[in-house]
Amino acid sequence: MRLKTSTLFAAVALAAASGLAAAQTIKIGIMTTYSGPGAAQGDQLDKGFKLYLKLNGSKLPPGVKVEPIFRDDTGANPDAAKRLAQELIVREKVQFLTGFVWTPNAMAIAPLTAEAKVPYISANAAGVSLPRISPYVARVSFTLWQSSYPLGQWAAKKFKRAYTVVSDFAPGHEAEEAFTKGFKDGGGEIVGSARTPMTATDFIPYMQRVKDAKPEAIFAFNPAGKQATAQMKAYADLDLHKAGIKYIGTGDITTDEELQNMGDAALGVITVHHYSAAADRPANKAFVAAYKKEYGEKLNPGFMAVGAWDAMDLIFHVIREQKGKIDPDRTMQLIKNYKNPNSPRGPIQIDPDTRDIMQNEYLREVRKVGGQLANVELETVATQYKDPWKEFNKPK
């Protein structure tokens, strides 16, 4: 009898244990921006994540489920983001962190990921030194050096004098630095530079200053969203195009979801970036079609939606590889070897040394395709390109 009871007990315990293993739920903390002036960018991340979960949410080992937990950081608000991330880790016990539109927020939470051993995959925040803060940070988005430096090199062959206008926060400073280096090393001259407030909505004064300096090109970076449209409108309103000043920059200034609002002023604008909704790769065509089916025919996915999509793909890959039993160090090992030949933006992989993304950078021009404005890819200026800043600034 005694034996029987204990056998029964063991059987129940075993059943309970396997039951637990069978119904494993992995929580993913997703920080994005739903309120404030940055809500347009946050919306892109939100749509990218939700589309991936809807289409691929079931592609997991049997019994493993994923539960996304969304939080609103209300914009570039590092202390709020830090508190929210801490709560996600402590209270919700998330095993991954992702999302983050804003570099300042990402920089603030990065130390937490090391303390708590929670891997964080940046779906957008592009501050170049971010992965160096913690060994549990990886990035699938981009750095400003990846686009601005080759653009500077390209521009030096076309123009002699350029003016830079960037947003006044870390990614803006990096875009300015990278473009300036590429442009000057190629023999160009920077005739002036301006930094606009992060929340600027009026770009007329800055564009007037550019016009007065009479450069051949203006290099711009802003955090995409509505600001990209506002800056494009200022460029058009002051007739900079007619004054012979070419508008060039990172893909943020002609981001696909905003492009239709910019009007014909955007025609001919040259950018270097890793993603265009108009690219004709099969993976991208499928992605854009799925996106339009879900969110409406008129909406184009921007690079942030792709960042979110790829971040989720990476997390799903890591969960599959570990069959749902997540170990943070093993996770980081797997992330370092992550490769995806079929991202909507083309082949991507994580650089194992820096945990940063390697991807193709395309030179694009805004043209009309089928009556719609589109970032048409002209050539691939860099293939499987590592972040050049980290090449110039190796850790000592």
Q: Taking CB under 8 A as the rule, which mask of x and - marks residues 279-318 in contact with other proteins?
A: ----------------------------------------
Which SS3 state, helix, strand or coil, does residue 249 take? strand
- Taking CA 228 as the corner, what is the angle to CA 158 and CA 133, rounded to the nearest 5 degrees? 90
Part in contact with other proteins (CB under 8 A); list of ranges 64-72, 181-189, 298-306, 315-323: 64-72
Contact stretch for other proteins (CB under 8 A) within 82-90, 143-151, 241-249, 366-374: 82-90
For other proteins, the closer CB: 41 or 340: 41
Shortest Cβ 7–other proteins spacing (Å): 38
Phi, psi of 206 (to 5 degrees): -70, -40
Tokens standing for 69?
């937990």
| Tokens standing for residue 305 | 């939606």
The Cα–Cα gap between 270 and 286 comes to 26
215 binds other proteins (CB under 8 A): no
Q: How far is the CB of 128 from other proteins (least distance, A)?
A: 12
| DSSP codes joined into one string, 126-180 | --TTHHHH-TTEEESS--HHHHHHHHHHHHHHH-SEEEEEEESSHHHHHHHHHHH
By C-beta, is 113 or 148 nearer to other proteins?
Answer: 113
Closest distance of CB 75 from other proteins, Å: 9
Q: Which is nearer to other proteins, 133 or 279 (CB)?
A: 133
Q: Which of 53, 56, 86, 347 binds other proteins (CB under 8 A)?
A: 86
Asked whether position 80 contacts other proteins by CB under 8 A, the answer is yes
169: its two tokens: 């926060």
Tell me how many degrees the CA angle 237-198-111 measures, rounded to the nearest 5.
155
Can you tell me the distance from the alpha carbon of 306 to that of 292, in angstroms, rounded to the nearest whole number?
Answer: 13
Question: 149 to 208, contacts with other proteins by CB under 8 A?
Answer: 168-170, 197-198
Is residue 215 classed as helix, strand or coil in its secondary structure?
coil
90 binds other proteins (CB under 8 A): yes
Count of residues of this chain found to bind other proteins when the rule CB under 8 A is applied: 31
Q: How far apart are CA 350 and CA 355, in angstroms?
A: 6
CA atoms of 309 and 50, how far apart (whole Å): 9
Nearer to other proteins, 127 or 344 (CB): 127
**248: β partners:** 219, 270
Which residues form the interface with other proteins (CB under 8 A)? Answer: 34-35, 46, 70-72, 76-80, 82-83, 86-87, 90-91, 103-104, 107-108, 111-112, 115-116, 127, 168-170, 197-198
